[in-house]
Amino acid sequence: MNEGALATRLGLAGWPHVAEEAIIARDLMLTELTGSRLHVCHVSTAGSVELIRQAKKRGVNVSAEVTPHHLLLTESLAAGYDPLYKVNPPLRTDADVKALRDGLVDGTIDVIATDHAPHPKESKDTDWASAAFGMVGLETAYSVAQEVLIDSGKSDFARLAEVMSINGARISGLESQGRYLEPGSSANLTLVNPGLSWSPEPRTQSMSENNPYSGLAMKGRVVHTIYDGEFSYRDFQVVQKGRI
């Protein structure tokens, strides 16, 4: 739970912004000192975004990622003690969400990474303290990215492709992934319908039900995925291997 007035009112132990920011500041200083490379996972606070932004301006070799849920959801959802919204790092404030979105648009944050964490029902259907951290987010990641970047009018599909494919492949050293289409290259594709409105069900494709987007109206959806010339997901369903 994010440290603040809501955590105090609920009687839950809060995780302060500075707990995250102090570690990132330390690691950035060490990276700058040693001339090494740093990748920061699950950025969740406005202060963290600013630390990374200033480090990049100084030429520090740092990259960063953010989860879909930290781009869309806030701590207010946990007001009912629902462990569905218990994640690590915790959901933060509206101001943090805005800063994360701005950082994604201006290049401070390089990647959207789902932190997809399915759990059996008994791990979430319990009290807050006993519940597991995490929520599912793989199937809805594109929809959240489209809302944050495209539907908001803040960016374009080129930037969406960078943060969901190109940059992640580059940072991870996956030379065969995240590439522009060229004759003779591997057919690794994600085909989407940006105008499609839909509402996720609790389970959908996942075997777990810890889906924070269940019942929400979303726009834009992945229709097909193709890996090395074979459908892996077709017409909203996982399929057996089959040539195009």
Q: Can you tell me the distance from the alpha carbon of 63 to that of 134, in angstroms, rounded to the nearest whole number?
A: 23
Instruction: Decide if 115 is catalytic.
Output: yes
Q: Can you tell me the distance from the alpha carbon of 51 to that of 31, in angstroms, rounded to the nearest whole number?
A: 13
Q: Look up residue 65 and give its two tokens.
A: 């990622």
- What per-residue string of b and e applies to 141-165 under the rule 16 or more CB within 10 Å gives b? bbbbbbbbbbeeeebeeebbebbbb
Catalytic residue among 115, 125, 127, 156: 115
Which positions are catalytic? 115
